[in-house]
Amino acid sequence: MPTIRFQILYVFLVLAHDRRRILHFTVTAHPTAEWTAQQLREAFPFDQLPRYLLRDRDAIFGHDFREQEPDMDICEVLSAPHSPWQRAYVERVI
């Protein structure tokens, strides 16, 4: 997401599909795989874990992120490459 000063910011957004509620979001200028994994832990505390996590194929979802999903009993669903229409609600919010 570009800013008014043309700086690029990266948005991590967790959206519940049942009511299209924003559960968690945060913004950073310098994302890392460790930061992304930490955001997943912060988004779903305690017993509020989802069954599925739909995500794109961005490289920021590194090994730490993918390794954490089975530990949290979350089934990962990848969207097709170059298909933002599969994440239309998230794209609209951003």
Local mean pLDDT, 10-residue blocks, the chain (94 residues): 83 84 89 88 80 82 80 84 76 72
Q: What is the domain-level CATH number for residue 17? A: 3.30.420.10
Question: What pLDDT sits at residue 6?
Answer: 85
pLDDT of residue 65: 79
What is the model's pLDDT at position 16? Answer: 83
Domain assignment present for 2: no
- The count of domains in the chain is 1
- The pTM of this model reads 0.72
Q: Is 36 exposed, middle or buried (0-12, 13-18, 19+ CB in 10 A)?
A: buried
What domain range is 68 assigned to? Answer: 10-93
Q: What is the 3-state secondary structure (H, E, C) of the chain?
A: CECCCCCECEEEEEEECCCCEEEEEEEECCCCHHHHHHHHHHHCCCCCCCCEEEECCCCCCCHHHHHHHHHCCCEEEECCCCCHHHHHHHHHHC
